[in-house]
Structure 1
Amino acid sequence: MTWLQERKQFVKALLSNPAAIGAVAPSGPALAAAITASIPPNAGKVLELGCGTGVFTREMLRKGVDPARLVLVEQDEAMSSSLRTQFPQAAVLQVSAQELSRDSHPELDGIGAAICGLPLRNMSGAHHHRLLTAVFDAMAEGGSMELFTYGVRCPIAPGVLDACGLSARRVGFVPFNLPPASVFSLARRP
């Protein structure tokens, strides 16, 4: 996908559903590098939520993640179609991330790591709880979910993290993104 095609696809999705996009521009290369930094090529299956134009996906492939081990979740129909074309070996699920479950999506079995590109600040605590429950139910012990936010604090409320048995820690700040972003890692508490 060319730079111009990516921008056109992003703007079209933004104009049709701004709350679902939650950004003013596609994530940049510095954020893609930061959010995928902890994903080793041998992580097992990697779940990516809110893939958009595939910026994070391309970075994982660049780092050696097997495309057949990717489970890409994107609700937007045009973006899902584009992801299927760009990454034909990956499993692409066109579904709301809050509706994920291993019962209805067997592709989730064996997830070793997750990346979240969803606009979490635009979601309720109940949505966060359903999302985290689904992700960590599918994830192997020791797995983590990396997410980003344009704020300085984790977008998941402490009460939701507690209810899910998770902890969050800030693992990076990316000043060279539009807008600047913080990266957090969520993991099960010991």
Structure 2
Amino acid sequence: MESVDEWIYVVDDDERVRNALSALLRANGRNVRSFASGREFLSAPRPDAVACLILDMKMPGMSGLEVQRFVTGDTQIPVVFVTGRGDVPSTVLAMKGGAVDFLTKPVDEQALMQAVDAALAKARELRRDVAEATVLQALYLTLTPRERELLPLLTKGLLNKQAAGMLGITEYTVQIHRGRIMRKMRADSFATLVRQASKLQLDEPPATASDA
């Protein structure tokens, strides 16, 4: 079942193609908004919802590849390209830019719907990742400066004694901080804490030390 909060945006300068794609998608129960140009799409307000973009490759003014660069840089909207005049270099650039699929006109209905399903699935995953990253960052910010110093040392595999020596504190203090870090980060195991630190990209401990 598709969510009412999921949208498909169709951008094509050819009105007949735009209307045909929109009608086809609506017939398959999708919410659709269509635009005649990339600039029109980029300037239009959009709801904060799972979405994908069906984008014509060759358009006057802003090309599909230019629109893709704006979209992938600022949003979590996967792109499906459609074109009647595709070429290999453009296809390569589109796929390197993260396009989910590349379809040629006239678009086959089954191929289109499969591409849309894949794009929306990717959009849901992207939004989940962003939401999880936001929560994880919020938890990290609850740590004290000393705990933020200690976290990457522990998750890199240093023993409590080794971490204590590096920070100039006692091993017992490390144990106390370690327990507090686990609780604040809501980590149910040390393996979970290691994965969290990896997602936070804590390659090095902060340069500024703090008192215990």
TM-score w.r.t. length of structure 1: 0.40
Higher relative contact order (CA 8 A, sep 6+): 1
Larger-gyration structure (1/2): 2
